[in-house]
Amino acid sequence: MPNEWSAAIADAARSPGASFGCFGFALDSPRLAARVIELGVRLRVALFGLPYGDQAIFVRREAFDAIGGYSPLPIMEDVDLVGRLRETGTLLAASYATVTSARRWERLGWFRVTAQHLRLVALYFLGVTPERLKCSHAD
């Protein structure tokens, strides 16, 4: 978490329309591929308002309660949560970033891991159940 995490939460609390928020995304790798992925995440959040769980999503208690909390899904629970939270208000994207380990990308390949993430999200939005996605998802 960024050192400024509490300031981001306070900003969200002062923003009346925001019912949930997220931090930026950074990978702990010096590689150019990491910067490209970080840019892609910034674009995804800016264009689609779709942060993932590794961006430390934070939620107003009343919004969380209004949607009935987390759905018991084996995968895509963060995407499901964000989709349902949109009904309660807007997303506040903090300018501070959480740092995520790049080990999986480095071990399995930058393109392969990114393509796998995109494939899973696309299939989810096309209606494939999280249970089927989990069965097809291998590290």
For 50-69, letters b (16+ CB in 10 Å) and e give bbbebbbbbbbeebbeebee
Confidence (pLDDT) at 32: 97
Q: How confident is the model at residue 126 (pLDDT cuts 50, 70, 90)?
A: very high
- DSSP reduced 3-state for 71: coil
Q: How far apart are CA 3 and CA 1, in angstroms?
A: 6
Task: Indicate the pTM of the whole model.
Answer: 0.87
For 7, the enclosing helix (H) or strand (E) is helix 5-14
Q: What is the pLDDT of residues 22-75, one digit of tens each?
A: 999 999 999 999 999 999 999 999 999 999 999 999 999 999 999 999 999 999
Mean pLDDT rounded to a whole number for the chain: 92
Q: What is the pLDDT of residues 6-17, one digit of tens each?
A: 888 888 788 888
Q: How far apart are CA 85 and CA 59, in angstroms?
A: 8
